[in-house]
Chain A
Amino acid sequence: MTGVLQKSPTRSGQTLARRRRRVPPLVPIILGALLVLALTYVLPPFRNYQLATVGAYFTVTAGLTVLTGLNGQLSLGHGALMATGAYTFALAQNRWLSMPLSVLAAILTTTLAGVVIGLAAARLRGPYLAGLTLAVAVVVPSVTSTFDETFNSDMGLSVALDPPPGVVPMEQWQAWLCWAGALVTAFLLATLVRGRFGRDLRAVRDDETAARLAGVHVARTQVIAFVVSAACAGLAGVLFAFLAQSVSPGAFPLTLSLFLVMAIVIGGLGRLVGALLGAVLLVALPALAQTASERSGSQHLEGNLALVIFGVVLVVVMLAAPGGLASIHTNFRRKR
């Protein structure tokens, strides 16, 4: 038997070279924070607002890419979870006018919603899970019109906010808070996903039976993934309410949920960098569409052009880099 064992040639030197070097998550987070901080001082107010929106989108796409990319659960209902967070934030803020308290309340409510949906989701697979989350995406906005005394139907609620501290312009303040939320979320997710839990998430995604035999509690892993992802969506909802200073069902349509999924797929599933790229696209492409339609002078174009552009980008990226934009870099390195 010893002889046979030696049969396999050892290429350990080569193997070690191929080992992936992992950067501690704190490094890119701190660099990102510094970059954003610097940008907010040089960008004009509208660009700062857009930057803030990217941060808010990144908060939800980061959570969604962990759920869909790493754990393999497709959710078409994250827009609705954002709405849940946003409305809770608005109601709490209008009552107590205390940001930390309202944010906490919003995240807790969304987490709770995440537990409920996650428990159901852990029993569903593939298209059935998509169907369930799709139902959530449809139902939540209509709740606002059913209980219009609380939620004020399609008009929505305005959000009472404290003015920014000192002489900081509103847009800069928004960018700071949104990116603080986004980067804290990204850091927590990156830390969570780095070790054994991240491995379990992916193991469940790839082969549930084998994962179970290896000792992974499949249902628990799936529920935790959903809850974590829902909490991120809740925080993103808060940031959107904070950005718009109002909440309305129109801000969280079904298309938002679909756009979120598209964004993480284009960016690169299961990678936070991909989620970031997706968030950038979610802001940049509609802006691009708007500029284009303004140039052409057609009013009809504006609403639909963003969808077209998104579709085209999705097709092109999937053809050129099936792993998403984030994979281009690695592919390039591998080819060399």
Chain B
Amino acid sequence: MSTKIPDHELALDHITVRFGGLTALDDVSLRVPAGRIVGVIGPNGAGKTTLFNVICGFVTPTAGEITLDGRAWRPRPHHLNRLGIARTLQGVGQFSGLTVLENVQVGIRNRHSRQPSERGWRESRHSGQPSERGEQGDWHSGEPSERGGQEGRHSGQPSEQGEHEGRHSGQPSRRGWRGGREKRSEQDALDALERCGAAEYAYEHPGALPYAIRKRIELARALASRPRILMLDEPAGGLDADEIQWLAGLIRDTDTTVLLVEHHMDLVMAVCDEILVLDFGKPIALGPPVEISANEKVTEAYLGAVA
């Protein structure tokens, strides 16, 4: 993974959220180091989604501080994309009047502030290959990734080169006058959809598609923005075992920082580096999966009785 990591990319310090008399989050602190996959689990109503809403700026904490890259930060929802933070919604939040492709394109905005050394997935896709396209340099020019295991993902897919050919010749030249921005965003969106296994639905409307596919589209939209922090709110809901396995692979390979709220324990235990357990808004445990699964308090919170 990337070498120059700041101590903590995102940090929550003593966050408390009260809705009237109800304390949704009680003194929750969480440090999310860059490149790590951090899970947030807990029974229903534990405050997991509220925690996400705090980070996204939908909920202003009653007390506590949030820091991003070591600086105090007041999150605003529409700034997240610019800052490289992408979040998926629990109930698939899609634009029913847009095609799947357009849905994903909404998440692609021109951000020039990106560092070339980012842990974006594009770099790893093109690992070892010098970038041939100058105009896409802003995100293509990353150093070759150190991660060698990426190649496996390409097996069975058209070769890198073939993909590039198709990209050039497949575009109708008619639209050339509009400049490359739109074309590039379309290609980025298609790539993201392909990565999430939903490319075949690109020109359909999401409302008519099965739930599991819409989940993939939601994921594609988040990935298409090439986030450095990916926040997934119950991404496995409604997916079958195969798909969850696929999702686990995807999460591990994103090569970004991931914050994951999930009920599906297998997934959480399989992918997370660190897990925060909430119960009625209180943090009851924080640690690597092995510790968490052995933690009595966690078992108690989930099963409701001392084992």
Residues of chain A touching chain B, judged by Cβ–Cβ distance below 8 Å, are 1-2, 4-12, 14-15, 18-20, 22, 24, 194-196, 199-200, 202-203, 205-207, 209-218, 270
B120 at the interface (CB under 8 A from A): no
- Given known A-B contacts A212-B78, A213-B56, A217-B78, A4 and B153 have beta carbons under 8 A apart: no
Evaluate contact between B93 and A213: CB separation under 8 angstroms: yes
CA distance A29 to B161 in the complex (A): 40
Evaluate contact between B199 and A210: CB separation under 8 angstroms: no
CA distance A11 to B199 in the complex (A): 9
B106 contacts across to A, CB distance below 8 A: 199-200, 203, 211, 214, 216
**Is the contact region of chain A dominated by helix, strand, or loop, or is it mixed?**
helix
Evaluate contact between B202 and A1: CB separation under 8 angstroms: no
B156 at the interface (CB under 8 A from A): yes
CA distance A8 to B213 in the complex (A): 10
Evaluate contact between A199 and B248: CB separation under 8 angstroms: no
The 22 listed contacts between A and B (C-beta, < 8 Å) are A1-B250, A2-B152, A2-B156, A4-B243, A4-B246, A7-B197, A19-B202, A20-B203, A22-B175, A195-B182, A196-B105, A196-B181, A196-B185, A205-B97, A206-B96, A207-B94, A209-B89, A210-B93, A213-B89, A214-B81, A214-B107, A270-B97
- Given known A-B contacts A18-B203, A196-B182, A206 and B98 have beta carbons under 8 A apart: yes
CA distance A134 to B283 in the complex (A): 51
B81 contacts across to A, CB distance below 8 A: 213-215
Chain B 199-229 per-residue mask, 1 if CB under 8 angstroms from chain A, else 0? 1111110000000000000000100010000
Evaluate contact between B80 and A202: CB separation under 8 angstroms: no
B109 at the interface (CB under 8 A from A): yes
CB distance from B31 to the nearest CB of A (A): 23
Evaluate contact between A6 and B156: CB separation under 8 angstroms: yes
Evaluate contact between A199 and B89: CB separation under 8 angstroms: no
B243 contacts across to A, CB distance below 8 A: 4
Residues of chain B touching chain A, judged by Cβ–Cβ distance below 8 Å, are 56, 58, 77-82, 86-87, 89, 93-99, 102-103, 105-107, 109, 152-153, 155-156, 174-175, 177-178, 181-182, 185, 197-204, 221, 225, 242-243, 245-246, 248-250, 253
Evaluate contact between A5 and B200: CB separation under 8 angstroms: no
CA distance A222 to B283 in the complex (A): 40
- Given known A-B contacts A1-B245, A214-B225, A207 and B203 have beta carbons under 8 A apart: no
CA distance A14 to B200 in the complex (A): 9
Evaluate contact between B200 and A210: CB separation under 8 angstroms: no
Evaluate contact between A215 and B200: CB separation under 8 angstroms: no
Evaluate contact between A2 and B155: CB separation under 8 angstroms: yes
B153 contacts across to A, CB distance below 8 A: 1-2, 5
CB distance from A235 to the nearest CB of B (A): 26
CA distance A218 to B77 in the complex (A): 10
B103 contacts across to A, CB distance below 8 A: 203
A210 contacts across to B, CB distance below 8 A: 89, 93-95
A4 contacts across to B, CB distance below 8 A: 242-243, 245-246, 249
Among A8, A12, A214, contact of B197 (Cβ-Cβ < 8 Å): A8
Evaluate contact between A12 and B200: CB separation under 8 angstroms: yes
A199 contacts across to B, CB distance below 8 A: 98, 102, 105-106
A14 contacts across to B, CB distance below 8 A: 200
8 shortest A-B CB distances, which residue pairs? A215-B81, A1-B249, A210-B93, A4-B246, A206-B95, A212-B77, A214-B107, A8-B197
Among B82, B107, B201, B246, contact of A5 (Cβ-Cβ < 8 Å): B246
Evaluate contact between B95 and A203: CB separation under 8 angstroms: yes
B177 contacts across to A, CB distance below 8 A: 24
Evaluate contact between B80 and A215: CB separation under 8 angstroms: yes
CB distance from B109 to the nearest CB of A (A): 5
B203 contacts across to A, CB distance below 8 A: 15, 18-20
CB distance from A161 to the nearest CB of B (A): 38
B109 contacts across to A, CB distance below 8 A: 196, 214-215
CA distance A161 to B37 in the complex (A): 71
A202 contacts across to B, CB distance below 8 A: 95, 97-98, 102
CB distance from A6 to the nearest CB of B (A): 5
* Residue of A9, A196, A209 most packed against chain B (CB within 10 A): A196
* Residue of A5, A15, A270 most packed against chain B (CB within 10 A): A5
CB distance from B23 to the nearest CB of A (A): 24
CA distance A8 to B80 in the complex (A): 31
